[in-house]
Structure 1
């Protein structure tokens, strides 16, 4: 008989982080007056960039032709860059034709039914280094074609059609097919490529009526709605500071930066508010999901957006970007951010160009006598290796041709590459040399490297034996980047001790928005009693997203036994959470979240309906199957749980977790002979987690095969060399079976940590 004590299915955490990018602002921020003149007290509305252009001619001229101005345009002869001369492009077996007829641009390609159709191109999307094309489908959907135009010069490999997923076969049922959810403009792209966008999704009809005031990223995307500013311009009584705008910005040239003679680095000699400018840019230039709609320039980022922290697979363990993370999360790690640098110090937000050539730009704050010298970069002058950005802002290609630079402005750390398997700028150029070679040279030049927060995050990600200590040390080190400390909070629930639990309780009562958000994001992973101790203060947090996520995590708690003010805050925040998930109900993530909420409240029929709706719009979405099956398990319908998992086997993206869950379902039903092959398949799956290997080994051992179990665990140890469950199982089963050699080997490993 298989006996897997304490093993059950764990619902997958459902936080969807969406991609996109938007506008920088030109200036550092000054706070508006608390009270406005009566004439300007009405709520501001959007007036359009054309109104702004009548007075702000220089800014408009700079904006014309910029990435913001051309973020999205009606498809016509002025906007389309691609070759629509009847050319045919082939990807795998699928041929796609691009042609022009009666001044209308067309694409002929495979559609949502798998058959070939003709589609008119509605809009262009972006401009350089690639341009995409939007096609309208039923229900008000705009979909981004996955074949794009490379708008780089021919000498750079451009002026050609190319596929964004060249190595994948994408039929009409694939989640990355151009007609699928993940290529939907209304949800994935729209709010950062247009101004004052309203998605207007209707769950009942599964349709959109999306609107905007400017089709592109216009003035009001960064300055806020302009109607009160127009009123201000037309009145004789003009208050100077606010000018009727939701955010006012002061020229960074008025700030005083002085080069420190000792370090060669400039310091800001007076404190200047920069957070609101950064957070205005970050509304689009960050990896985030829209949690509360209605954000405007100048608003608090975490009142509207759920920010992705330094988590895999979006970031490498040391915080370098691995996925499309759109700058803000990287910049928060930087010493530039800590020193008071803002976007507008380097970027002109109207033209979206750098304010100077790259090295000249750096030399404004970093003395060229010290940092442009061979003694610093030890490369020949004017060589590729001597350029600041190639060492401190290495680029990574996204969308095949779009090289994006890391805005964490980091020191290259080839030593971390050898231990954390992270990239480094040195090896990016010297590809014929090892990271050890580069690390040795840097140590000779600059001495032994400092400890790095990436070492703690890596320990947490990989289940190292000393993970709790490293993560707690990082959380408590106020000299470390706040985003790294927040990321450690996300990881520490897996390693809780009394000490780390007490620290989480303390953080919940502090006033640090990003740490509060991290607590709210991980709250459902805490034991119930600790969840209440941490969660109740978060219901009073200043940021609405934090309060909202907290309420959802506390849904199963005995809120009715708490003081009235806590109950009121909980109800208010839970209403916000439900509204957020309904706003995002065009996505399976939110539908599953709503289903889980109904399940916790005992609303079985509603929970079941939302789970089925999620699977109807995303048949590949693994968490919907796992959570739906777990819902059935909890209410005692194990046969239905098995049915959902059987259905998932041929459809879900992550087959390992489905195999694992199905194996456990067989165990609960007493069908042990069927369980073992499924647990084996999950443990040997290339997507396997350490837990699947551990559970399979325990099952094999409980079936009377300790030697086989030890072999499985040793194989698992090779994949997950610091996992405590695997190590302790090796010791326990080794001793129990008389294999003292193995037991002592892993006991020694623990003692050596």
Structure 2
């Protein structure tokens, strides 16, 4: 078993960061004409007064004497975190976090900045290498208490038996420079130095300022100041958001209010989201299968599931001011009744609640605010009605039980089903169950999933989710659906997903479709196509194609370093170089990813495959063991280590590693198959057992059933082996090894008529090659000569 048989772990073209982040180069920040929010006061005093105290204006605040006086947060008392004691105390006018071990003071951290404040305040303290780190203690403004911030990020995923462990508070994911900067400050430059892994981060202004939405204002201020009194310049030299289209408004807000990742280094208001960002959909475990938020998803994904958005001109600024306030805070139902006027007269019948009760407010049923992970409150922007049956099936929240906490979801579901349109949940329940099955790699109902994509049913989030998860589907029926989606789907998100999921398909059809996508109007589609085109040889492209691919590839390579401090950028760059056949650059990129974030598994795993391929078995083994130090039960690392050790003849160690992989995934066919080979030398019963697992897990791979039949025969189970081979031939009639094997069994038993019938049937198989046909005819002639 050669190194090429190790499992290469790939990911979609982009990893999703916790938030969407954009940065500007140092030169742009210095010379791009941004003049700061105070330059707006003279002409726009009223707007400034509204913005300054808003949660946009105060998205990040210095923790100084003014902050201490305004908020007067209490000291915390000691809190045990990661086996140390932490405490927030005041020293003079400063807030300080102390770190102790067994009552010995280890370190003091002076809090420099605060983030948020609507529901939770988090705080930043300086660490080494220019990092601003989110401290492990945050303040709940509603409960008026301090809490363990890293633990608040731990969620119990529905399909897991145990919670994830909290990340250490000094983990890179909690570094402000890395994860949350540009949604809390304005006109930022991270000034990251890759060689030293250090930051010299700067920004123009704390908080989200006027120029975040209107662009640089220096020229605007100049032309207005130079204009004659009482006149307005024809060209105001600034971005006028009141002229934005629905998509421009949504895009402008979504740069922060989306769980996505950047594919460019900068964004200017008015440009479109999918020219600069990717977006998480329901393949992400931070969503319940029905699309409700389980983790922090920042609105846009749910918003794109909103029928009001797709059927009207509704956009973010319809309901919110540019400073983030609710336009309809005093009259909330007016946000909805301007379109849904029929509900005004029949409000009680529609809501089943009395007027002026909480249940008569549209938002309480259609956009309920929900607390998750104990402290954070977010509103559901999908605007869907309550679905208590989804709570029963998937554990997702529903508005009925958020208010009626003393009642069960079954109680709520019974009431919902008594409504005139009581079956409204059925559609969501149907596709959500399919989402759940696709997440579990259960492709039993693949035809139904493909139909959803083919007919572009429901909404672009649901369709994109299925397209993305098809990457893991081994059934080749998916290809035609993906080829159609990349050409015909109106959503750039779906087309980009199809381009990614076509990766590895080296057919002419796939190549042509990907080349066409590389010239798509949206950058996200182009770079996704370029990633998949990297697996093709340049000689397969025409001269015209080469120009298209070269431009898209240039955009793709730039997209991967839009976040130069993100380990996943270098991981994906490694995959690109590996597909290009440049092992040296690929390994360099993987090692950079591992250096930036040693807790990341995938660079270790993929680099091990490549080290093995170039003949450095020791380094391959070392990196796999490093991966297992991070996650001892990891399926991919255990599987690859087992295959590597087996190749080196270390069968005892290989067996142990492969067993770990099989324990992690009881349907891990490669592990089961290789275990059957290893144990067959001493225990044929076990060999049959493992071969059975492999054959059942991957009925599409005929060699597994063939191996099972071989071990069954060796284990004196001839009748069972014969049955296995008959089924294999029925399922894979062109797999002629099975025909030869069964013919051999028949021949040993002197069943010449059965051999003849088997060969004659094989000759009639549609699609059989001329070479195979000739071989069977010769074998049949030999049988006939025997009489």
Please give the range of the TM-score, normalised by the shorter of the 2 chains: 0.7 to 0.9
Q: Which runs of 5+ in 1 are unaligned?
A: 24-42, 169-173, 251-271
- Distance in structure 2 (CA, Å) of the matches to 1:574 and 1:175: 37
- 1:348 aligns to what? 321
- Distance in structure 1 (CA, Å) of the matches to 2:480 and 2:148: 54
- 1:683 aligns to what? 662
| 1:248 counterpart = 2:221 | no
The Cα shift of 1:337 comes to 0.8
Give the 5 Å matches for 1:716-735: none
| 1:227 counterpart = 2:218 | yes
- 2:280 aligns to what? 308
The Cα shift of 1:225 comes to 1.9
Do 1:140 and 1:208's aligned partners in 2 also have CA atoms closer than 8 Å? yes
| 1:79 counterpart = 2:67 | yes
Instruction: Choose which of 451, 459, 467 in structure 1 pairs with 2:427.
Output: 451
Q: Cα 1:138–1:666, aligned 2, differ >3 Å: closer, same or farther?
A: same
- 1:190 aligns to what? 181
Do 1:109 and 1:117's aligned partners in 2 also have CA atoms closer than 8 Å? yes
Q: Cα 1:651–1:528, aligned 2, differ >3 Å: closer, same or farther?
A: farther
- 2:40 aligns to what? 52
Give the 5 Å matches for 1:539-578: 539-578=518-557
- Distance in structure 2 (CA, Å) of the matches to 1:382 and 1:730: 66
| 1:129 counterpart = 2:119 | yes
| 1:365 counterpart = 2:339 | yes
Q: Cα 1:416–1:226, aligned 2, differ >3 Å: closer, same or farther?
A: same
- 1:140 aligns to what? 130
Give the 5 Å matches for 1:239-318: 243-250=236-243, 273-318=245-290
- Distance in structure 2 (CA, Å) of the matches to 1:592 and 1:578: 12
| 1:397 counterpart = 2:371 | yes
- 2:756 aligns to what? none
The Cα shift of 1:347 comes to 1.3
- Distance in structure 2 (CA, Å) of the matches to 1:9 and 1:630: 7
- 1:536 aligns to what? 515
The Cα shift of 1:566 comes to 2.4
Do 1:79 and 1:124's aligned partners in 2 also have CA atoms closer than 8 Å? no
- Structure with bigger gyration radius: 2
Do 2:63 and 2:111's aligned partners in 1 also have CA atoms closer than 8 Å? yes
The Cα shift of 1:710 comes to 8.0
Which deviates the most, 647-656 or 478-487?
647-656
- Distance in structure 1 (CA, Å) of the matches to 2:324 and 2:385: 29
- Distance in structure 2 (CA, Å) of the matches to 1:537 and 1:88: 60
Q: Which runs of 5+ in 2 are unaligned?
A: 23-30, 155-164, 732-787
- 1:520 aligns to what? 499
Do 1:64 and 1:351's aligned partners in 2 also have CA atoms closer than 8 Å? no
The Cα shift of 1:232 comes to 4.4
Do 1:135 and 1:144's aligned partners in 2 also have CA atoms closer than 8 Å? yes
- Larger helix proportion, structure 1 or 2? 2
The Cα shift of 1:613 comes to 2.8
Do 1:82 and 1:149's aligned partners in 2 also have CA atoms closer than 8 Å? no
Summarize deviations over 1:179-199 as a string: whole Å, max 9, x none: 221011112011111111122
The normalised TM-score by structure 2 is 0.77
- 2:11 aligns to what? 13
The Cα shift of 1:329 comes to 0.7
Do 1:12 and 1:626's aligned partners in 2 also have CA atoms closer than 8 Å? no
Do 2:493 and 2:525's aligned partners in 1 also have CA atoms closer than 8 Å? no
- Distance in structure 1 (CA, Å) of the matches to 2:709 and 2:354: 58
The Cα shift of 1:88 comes to 3.5
- 2:352 aligns to what? 378
- Distance in structure 2 (CA, Å) of the matches to 1:711 and 1:396: 48
**SS in structure 1 at match of 2:112:** strand
| 1:165 counterpart = 2:151 | yes
| 1:107 counterpart = 2:97 | yes
The Cα shift of 1:288 comes to 1.1
The Cα shift of 1:527 comes to 4.4
- 1:334 aligns to what? 306
Instruction: Choose which of 453, 456, 463 in structure 1 pairs with 2:441.
Output: 463
- 1:217 aligns to what? 208
Do 2:21 and 2:262's aligned partners in 1 also have CA atoms closer than 8 Å? no
Q: Which gives a bigger RCO, structure 1 or 2 (Cα 8 Å, sep 6+)?
A: 1
- Distance in structure 2 (CA, Å) of the matches to 1:708 and 1:292: 53
Q: Cα 1:365–1:645, aligned 2, differ >3 Å: closer, same or farther?
A: same
**SS in structure 1 at match of 2:293:** coil
Summarize deviations over 1:726-750 as a string: whole Å, max 9, x none: 999799959966669x999x99xx9
Summarize deviations over 1:8-48 as a string: whole Å, max 9, x none: 4131316321223799xxxxxxxxxxxxxxxxxxx962121
- 1:69 aligns to what? 57
- Distance in structure 1 (CA, Å) of the matches to 2:345 and 2:567: 50
- Distance in structure 1 (CA, Å) of the matches to 2:694 and 2:337: 50
| 1:651 counterpart = 2:630 | yes
* C-alpha RMSD of matched pairs (Å): 3.9
- Distance in structure 2 (CA, Å) of the matches to 1:380 and 1:538: 53
The Cα shift of 1:514 comes to 1.8
Q: Cα 1:159–1:427, aligned 2, differ >3 Å: closer, same or farther?
A: closer
- 1:483 aligns to what? 461
- Distance in structure 2 (CA, Å) of the matches to 1:710 and 1:385: 61
Summarize deviations over 1:683-704 as a string: whole Å, max 9, x none: 22xxx34653x33433454444
- Distance in structure 2 (CA, Å) of the matches to 1:5 and 1:724: 24
Q: Cα 1:379–1:353, aligned 2, differ >3 Å: closer, same or farther?
A: closer
The Cα shift of 1:711 comes to 7.0
The alignment covers a number of residue pairs equal to: 686
Do 1:501 and 1:530's aligned partners in 2 also have CA atoms closer than 8 Å? no
Do 1:520 and 1:549's aligned partners in 2 also have CA atoms closer than 8 Å? yes
| 1:671 counterpart = 2:650 | yes
**SS in structure 2 at match of 1:567:** helix
- Distance in structure 2 (CA, Å) of the matches to 1:726 and 1:500: 16
- 1:201 aligns to what? 192
- 1:180 aligns to what? 171
The Cα shift of 1:425 comes to 3.7
- 1:118 aligns to what? 108
Q: Cα 1:597–1:495, aligned 2, differ >3 Å: closer, same or farther?
A: closer
Summarize deviations over 1:349-379 as a string: whole Å, max 9, x none: 2252342343453334334756873433334
| 1:697 counterpart = 2:672 | yes
Do 1:151 and 1:159's aligned partners in 2 also have CA atoms closer than 8 Å? yes
**SS in structure 2 at match of 1:195:** strand
Which deviates the most, 319-328 or 375-384?
375-384
- Distance in structure 2 (CA, Å) of the matches to 1:371 and 1:650: 64
Do 2:58 and 2:206's aligned partners in 1 also have CA atoms closer than 8 Å? no
Summarize deviations over 1:493-534 as a string: whole Å, max 9, x none: 444767642343343334642222212333435446554233
Do 2:479 and 2:502's aligned partners in 1 also have CA atoms closer than 8 Å? no
The normalised TM-score by structure 1 is 0.81
**SS in structure 1 at match of 2:377:** strand
- Distance in structure 1 (CA, Å) of the matches to 2:166 and 2:510: 35
| 1:91 counterpart = 2:81 | yes
Which deviates the most, 295-304 or 485-494?
485-494
Do 1:464 and 1:722's aligned partners in 2 also have CA atoms closer than 8 Å? no
Q: Cα 1:150–1:633, aligned 2, differ >3 Å: closer, same or farther?
A: same
**SS in structure 1 at match of 2:630:** coil
The Cα shift of 1:224 comes to 1.9
